[in-house]
Amino acid sequence: MKILGIESSCDETAAAVYDNNGLQSNIIASQAVHEQYGGVVPELASRAHHKTIWRTVRQALDEADIQLDAIDAVAVTQGPGLMGSLLVGLCFTKGLCLSRNIPLVGVNHMDAHIYANFIDNQPEYPFISLTVSGGHTQLVHVKAPFEHALLGQTRDDAAGEAFDKIGKILGLPYPAGPVIDERSQHGDTQFHDFPQAMLDNDFEFSFSGLKTSVMYYLQDQKDEEEFLSEHLNDICASVSYAITEVLIKKLRNAIEHTGVKTIVLAGGVSANSMLRKKARDLAAEEDCELYIPKLAYCTDNAAMIAITGYMMAQRKMFAGMNLKPFANLNAINK
């Protein structure tokens, strides 16, 4: 079976090919246009997808050395994401499938982050997934393939969103998450005790208060610019510590609640070095198997869409041409 995966949920236009022998290609076209705005501009994102999607798909097919007629199904991100961006990918994919009579698979972007762990590994079911991205933070009990129970999620900002918003306060370039991660490796995690919210709730998250705390903390300094110049690495380390501590404490709660002995990290924030180290330490303490995707499969990519589509196609989970996009998780209609 040969699956073409297409991803366009936000600001990455991506295409990949996955078959019985594994991942054959994984192409990502990033959109630099958003950097000057300090965040993704939805209208600009959808326009950029429209310009690059066919070229990206063509490159993925060429790299995999496969013709479109040999593709058995096309998997596309159905949501969640930016509606305009999703529509570009979904409409393109429907046209492709109709023109060549190829089956269509609609993929939940958050599911795909979880199943990115299967590109290079085979985690045993059941397992707990800590899925942490720019738009979502979740604890998911994966009992079997595509049989999920949501244990908890963020009530406001996602962890990745908190990193980016705090980075903007600190004057860092967008996306700020990787920059904060790099700087935190040279700072003192105990420099300042930023708040860790909702620790009294086992599985729910909240990060909006942390962003506000950082803003007020900087405003309290006599010379904010000089203070940042001297202690930026320390602040980044303290922020990273606060966010990752909450994530790991909640993950520990989930392990103890379910008794599951396999855990996976998923989503863009799973690339964070501090989170990875703490997850490894937690797995050792709890005697759990831990799986973390390669860095290339953490952020938005089509490899995760392709393998999820492959797993769904194996189970005959195909979609019709009436497949609709959904912008948020509450609108999921399976």
- Ligand-binding annotation for 109, yes or no, is yes
Q: List CB contacts of 323: < 8 A, sequence separation 6 or more.
A: 78, 90, 94, 104, 106
Residue in the block written with tokens 């073409």: 4
Please give the Cα distance from 274 to 134 (Å, whole number): 17
CB 206 within 8 A of CB 156: yes
- Ligand-binding annotation for 95, yes or no, is no
Please give the Cα distance from 46 to 51 (Å, whole number): 9
> Minimal CA–CA distance to 89: which of 188, 177, 10?
10
Q: With the C-alpha atoms ordered 265, 271, 275, 280, is the resulting torsion angle positive or negative?
A: positive
Coil/strand/helix, residue 232: helix
CB 216 within 8 A of CB 151: no
CB 61 within 8 A of CB 67: yes
- Ligand-binding annotation for 253, yes or no, is no
- Ligand-binding annotation for 164, yes or no, is yes
Please give the Cα distance from 116 to 301 (Å, whole number): 9
Structure-block tokens of residue 113 = 């982050």
Start-end of H helices in the chain: 42-63, 83-100, 109-115, 159-169, 177-184, 208-219, 224-258, 273-286, 303-314
- Ligand-binding annotation for 333, yes or no, is no
- Ligand-binding annotation for 193, yes or no, is no
- Ligand-binding annotation for 120, yes or no, is no
- Ligand-binding annotation for 300, yes or no, is yes
- Ligand-binding annotation for 187, yes or no, is no
Per-residue three-class SS string for 115-146 = HHHHCCCCCCCCEEEEEECCCCEEEEEEEECC
- Ligand-binding annotation for 39, yes or no, is no
CB 181 within 8 A of CB 272: yes
Structure-block tokens of residue 259 = 């008794």
Please give the Cα distance from 138 to 251 (Å, whole number): 10
DSSP state of 170: T
**Which residues belong to the annotated binding site?**
109, 113, 131-135, 164, 177, 181, 272, 300
**Which residues belong to the annotated binding site for substrate?**
131-135, 164, 177, 181, 272
**Which residues belong to the annotated binding site for Fe cation?**
109, 113, 300
